[in-house]
Amino acid sequence: MILRLLSSLNGHLGKPTSILATLGTRYPSCGSVIRSTVQRGQSTQAPANRVYDVNTKVPKDVMLFKYENPRFFKVLNIFAVSQFLFWGYLCHFSYTTLKDAPVQEDGKEELPWYKRVNLGENKYRNGIAIMCFFIGYGVLFASWMFTLRSVRYLVLRKGGDKVSVVTYAPFGTNRIMDVPLKYVSAQESREAARVTVPVKIKNRALFYMLDMRGEFTNTKLYDYTVGLSRKLK
């Protein structure tokens, strides 16, 4: 009888609930035994991807992310420096060259608007000079901050308590800093990000950017270390 019950059970694996109900009706004693056996088998299945299954206490340094694109940042900073020099020259030129040349009142109303403006007047000359300086400085500052916040390498240090953040620098070098892992918080998950993954570091202005064109060399370890969202107090 038990063999017939087992063969019937194998033929209806897709409907375990209905089988148990049938067995409980026809064969009360056998149904209770099989039901308890199935429940024990289901309870022994462990959930996958648990946090405590990932060993973050690494015995040696492990690279989590890399983004190799030095040529882009070299071109970007050459452009920024050239813009700063260009606008700096315009600043100096406008301040030293523009002369005060008042427009005669006779027939002033008949002149085009650009001929009625005295660019050598102090308010125009100083305004143009200041505007040129801030445009050049703004382009340079924005380019350098973008470079310094673009992550080139992420390395989880031995022991898993610290992470080395290696960023690009304006003059083709690298900038390296070791940060405790508890001071690092990812603002977006790796799967949801499209362009960059912003990472916040405690006591640091702005965000550090992980470009999605880079390579996550150890995705599972990244997700349970740098990729976690933490509350930075």
Tens of pLDDT along 120-164? Answer: 788 888 999 999 999 999 999 999 999 999 999 999 999 999 999
Q: Is the pLDDT higher at 28 or at 95?
A: 95
Q: Which domain-ending residue is among 127, 147, 167?
A: 147
- Determine the Cα–Cα distance for residues 205 and 202; give it in Å rounded to an integer: 8
Contact 221, 156 (CB under 8 A): yes
Mean per-residue pLDDT for 171-185?
93
**18 assigned to some structural domain:** no
- In this structure, the answer to whether residues 142 and 159 fall within a common structural domain is no
Sheet holding 184-186, edge to edge: 184-186, 196-201, 208-211
Query: Which residue range(s) make up the domain with 167?
Result: 62-68+150-224
Report which of residues 226 and 8 the model is more confident about: 226
d(CA 150, CA 133): 26
Which secondary-structure segment (H or E) carries 196?
strand 196-201
Residue 21: inside a domain: no
Tally of domains within the chain: 2
* Cβ(199)–Cβ(185) below 8 Å: yes
Strands 184-186 and 174-180: unpaired
What pLDDT is attached to residue 14?
44
Question: DSSP letter at 150?
Answer: B
Does 11 map to a domain?
Answer: no
Asked whether residue 205 is assigned to any structural domain, the reply reads yes
**pLDDT at residue 195 greater than cutoff 80:** yes
Q: How far is CA 227 from CA 16, 147, 168, 194, 195, in A?
A: 40, 21, 21, 15, 16
State whether 154 and 124 are in the same domain: no
DSSP 8-state secondary structure symbol assigned to residue 210: E
Within-domain flag for 198: yes
Model-level pTM greater than 0.75? no
pLDDT, tens digit, for every residue of 24-62? 555 455 445 445 444 444 444 444 455 456 788 999 999
